[in-house]
Amino acid sequence: MKPILNEIGTVFIPVRNIDEAKKWYCDLLGVPATGDVIAGHLYVMPMNGTGIVLDSKIYSEENIYKWPAFHLNTRDINAAYSFMKEKGIELTTEIENGHWFNFKDLDGNLLMVCQ
């Protein structure tokens, strides 16, 4: 058995304001904003599967995602796209090839939703 597993544990997202980002991501993903901010700069999102950690200590204009490092899953790409439009989230693409689109979070990180 190899000492490093072939699985991703978590993805870190650089955010400017940890409290605002916590509220924004929890609202977007429909999860309760429970749990504390750790060490004044980390928030571990309550996720299924691979985790997301919001981190304000690593934030800088140079560190924001300029391309999606991962995608969030959906079972209905059209409903997800409409949901994001209704929330006023900045969409950077239309639904492409019938199964994905990109958007920006409140700090300008480029992210993806994929069916």
CA-to-CA distance for 97 and 101, rounded, in angstroms? 9
Tokens 């300029």, residue? 66
Q: Is the pTM above the cut of 0.85?
A: yes
pLDDT in tens, 49-73: 999 999 999 999 999 999 999 999 9
CATH code matching the domain that covers 10-114, chosen among 3.10.180.10, 3.40.50.300, 3.60.20.30, 3.40.1000.10: 3.10.180.10
pLDDT in tens, 36-46: 999 999 999 99
Domain boundaries, the chain: 10-114
CA-to-CA distance for 10 and 1, rounded, in angstroms? 22
